[in-house]
Amino acid sequence: MKPSPPVLLTHATQLLSLRGQTAPRRRDQMLDLGIISDGAVLLHSGVVVAVGSTDEVARHTLAGNAEEIDCRGKVILPGFVDSHTHPVFTAPRLVDFEKRIAGASYEEIAAAGGGIRSSLAGVREATTAQLAQHVTRALNEMAQQGTTTVEAKSGYGLTLESELKSLQALKLAAEGWDGTLVSTLLGAHVVPPEYRSDPDAYVSLICEQMIPAAASPKLAEYVDVFCEKGAFTVEQSIKILRAAVEHGLKTRVHLCQLTPAELAPILQFNPDSLDHMDYVADGDLPALAKSHTVVTLLPAVNYYLGLDQFPPARKLIDSGVAVALATDYNPGSSPTPSMPFVLSAACTHMKMAPAEAITAATINGASALNLQHRKGSLEPGKDADVAVFEVTDYRELAYWVGVNRCRQVFLNGYRSESGLTPGLPNRL
């Protein structure tokens, strides 16, 4: 694909600008999508040049030379920011899938040798190029459904060599993709089998070898830890986060997915995001609401695992906590690249309003990656990340499920046609 010449998207039934000064958005701010009727957006050189009504934007000096795309009957919005994914794996986990259907729990599957550990062999044996191919397919599937920025973690190698190989694969895939990829070292996903009798030795390997190697040359922007019973304790997590900060890397944490944990020791590191948070304690809400940390909810996991409980989105939002939504794309608990599906799950199962879900999947997702100045809203100067959906009301983004209504995306100004043109048979 070539860089787009000036492009003018016009006559959108609704353009969701998400414009406004503060990010992340909290409470009622999440309901304000900055909707513009008969909306238009002008893109040039990879950035948004102008946004407004079609009449307003058409008067811009660059509009005369722009290629116009008529978006009548469509909704334009900022590309989704999927701020939590695990795309570096080689195979689906079908045995786990069947075991779970037969009634086994997450912990039982892990104890039987399934779960995260069963993805290790594939990643350890694969070449960097093979892993990059898997990542590229995932990124393209995400973009087809309107996602333009993706946070992507390593975490299925769990040796120094295979974690670095996973980060190299992310780099390679990112270079061939028009969207924006933010890379995270998740060497602390679980303790690998070779270290089962001495988990602290594995924590030392992460702190003393993996993190320094990921920090220079900079292969990762973030370090993540799965702080959970059966993974890493709070004390071990703190050691890992401290090493991350010492090496100039930012932090984010998988927390409170299966059991509650005290947040204070983790919040001292000012993580950009705490993710899952199914079991967040009421007493921790005021501190979270005051912090800049975004809580990233992953309802596709609860859906896929067949759980009755979902993360307490209402309680978090109503307490003033900044909430984002992401897929948690991974082979064990969320094999979906679809942010529209996540919007559906968020509204149906967590009682988020459609507008809240869209805010959580755009500007608040950008905030969870510290990219709110470049991503997550359509405002002059921001990156030209745009999704065009064939719907006429923003609520339809969360309403339709199991169908892809995304028709076109712009990733940093590069155009990608998305989905099938209605009326054309599959063979085309």
**Binding region for Zn ion (CB under 5 A):** 328
Nearest-angstrom CA–CA distance, 232 and 229:
7
Nearest distance from residue 254's CB to Zn ion, in Å? 5
Q: Residue 369 corresponds to which tokens in the numbers above?
A: 């990656």
C-beta of 82 vs 328, nearer to Zn ion: 328
Nearest distance from residue 154's CB to Zn ion, in Å? 12
Nearest distance from residue 84's CB to Zn ion, in Å? 6
Nearest distance from residue 171's CB to Zn ion, in Å? 20
CB 75 within 8 A of CB 393: yes
C-beta of 154 vs 377, nearer to Zn ion: 154
Q: What angle separates helix 354-361 from helix 339-350, to the nearest 10 degrees?
A: 140
Give the phi and the psi of residue 341 in degrees, each rounded to 5: -65, -40
Nearest distance from residue 328's CB to Zn ion, in Å? 5
Q: How many CB atoms lie within 10 A of CB 162?
A: 21
C-beta of 328 vs 356, nearer to Zn ion: 328
Q: Residue 398 corresponds to which tokens in the numbers above?
A: 């969360």
Q: Give the Å distances, CA to CA, from 348 to 53, 65, 92, 353.
A: 32, 44, 27, 9
C-beta of 279 vs 400, nearer to Zn ion: 279
C-beta of 83 vs 145, nearer to Zn ion: 83
Handedness of CA 82, 352, 97, 420 (dihedral sign): negative
Q: Is the peptide bond before 217 cis (omega within 30 degrees of 0)?
A: yes
Helical H segments across 148-298, by residue range: 160-175, 199-205, 211-215, 234-246, 264-267, 285-290
Nearest distance from residue 278's CB to Zn ion, in Å? 12
CA–chain centroid gap for 410, Å, is: 17
Taking CB atoms, the residue at the shortest distance from Zn ion is 328
Nearest distance from residue 280's CB to Zn ion, in Å? 16
C-beta of 107 vs 417, nearer to Zn ion: 107
C-beta of 277 vs 316, nearer to Zn ion: 277
